Amino acid sequence: MAVRLIGSLLGRACCLVLLAGCQKKAPVIIVEQKPPIEELIDQLATEGSGTVEVPFSELIASVSGKRIIPIDKNVPEERALIEDLSHVIGEVVEELSRSNSPIRQEKRINEVSRHVEDALLTKLSLHPDWGCGIPVNAAGRVQRTGYPDLRAFHHPSQRVIYLDPKLFATGSQNSSLRTFYYTPRRATSKVTEDASHLLIGIEHDGITGEWEMLSFQIVDLCTFQVRLKAEFQASNRDLYGGEGVLFRSNQQRSAEMQQE
């Protein structure tokens, strides 16, 4: 149901890749036709107020045709990969928490996040065992916005790794508020390779103008579950600019207020 729904929302006939967990084996390919709008609405309406839980690995596979490869810490090269990465993240956390850090000048946590991304990119690019850059999307263009933020390459294991740093305020780790977003677009997908997907969660003190980094976690998104909450929306232009308007009062006063 979940993967069929993804295909429905993406539109047109689509080739969906189903993965059994994140096993390192060839995916099963299933081709499904776009269902009629009635079937799509019925799927949404019967899945608990339009909310559907989807394995992230299946979502990525359906959109990009690429696999999420799990990290196996029992493999020496992959264990070393995590150790190297954690050391680099630790350096970034320490440096950005200093009193003279540029993040102290930022007022919004989103602006702080950009500093974290840039610092990770620089440090991994300079590391002898790593390479790092901004992902190139399916159209062949370097794209900064959207998931994932960074594409890294670990030379000893020959592993491509997509990295997505996220900042969260201390005490909010168990919050149910939405903090992870992924918009499925095939034409501009930034996932273009079979790879590991790691989220880097960095805890900060939540104090604007100080932004001290307290701790971090590395999360393998192989078994990650995301929720799709479908809603049908429209803008004011759609509401008030169409043929459905039956009556408009004298709008002179409204126009005068907009000019003031």
Does position 21 have pLDDT exceeding 50, yes or no? no
- Residue 68 pairs with which residues in a beta bridge? 195
Average pLDDT, integer, range 47-68: 84
Q: How far apart are CA 211 and CA 101, in angstroms?
A: 9
Three-class SS string for 198-228? EEEEEEECCCCCCCCEEEEEEEEHHHCEEEE
Half-sphere exposure of 74 (CA within 13 A, CB side): 1
CA distance 35 to 97: 52
Alpha carbon 19 to chain centroid distance? 19
Is residue 194 within 8 Å of residue 22, measured between CB atoms?
no
Per-residue pLDDT at 20: 40
Q: Which residue has the higher pLDDT, 181 or 30?
A: 181
Computed over every residue of the chain, the mean pLDDT equals: 83
Residues 200/163, Cβ–Cβ less than 8 Å: yes
Report in angstroms the alpha-carbon separations of 4 from 9, 99, 231: 9, 51, 17
At residue 166, the pLDDT reads: 94
User: Burial letters for 73-104: b for 16+ Cβ neighbours within 10 Å, e otherwise?
Assistant: eeeeebeebeebbeebbeebbeebbeeebebb
- How high is the pLDDT of residue 15? 39
Tokens of 63: 């959109």
8-state DSSP, 108? S
Residue 195 or residue 22, greater confidence: 195
pLDDT the model gives residue 17: 39
Residue range 175-195: mean pLDDT, rounded: 90
What span, in angstroms and rounded, lies between the C-alpha atoms of 254 and 87? 59
In degrees, rounded to 5, the angle at the alpha carbon of residue 36 between the alpha carbons of residues 35 and 42 is: 90
Cis preceding-peptide flag for 148 (omega within 30 of 0): yes
Does residue 25 surpass a pLDDT of 60?
no
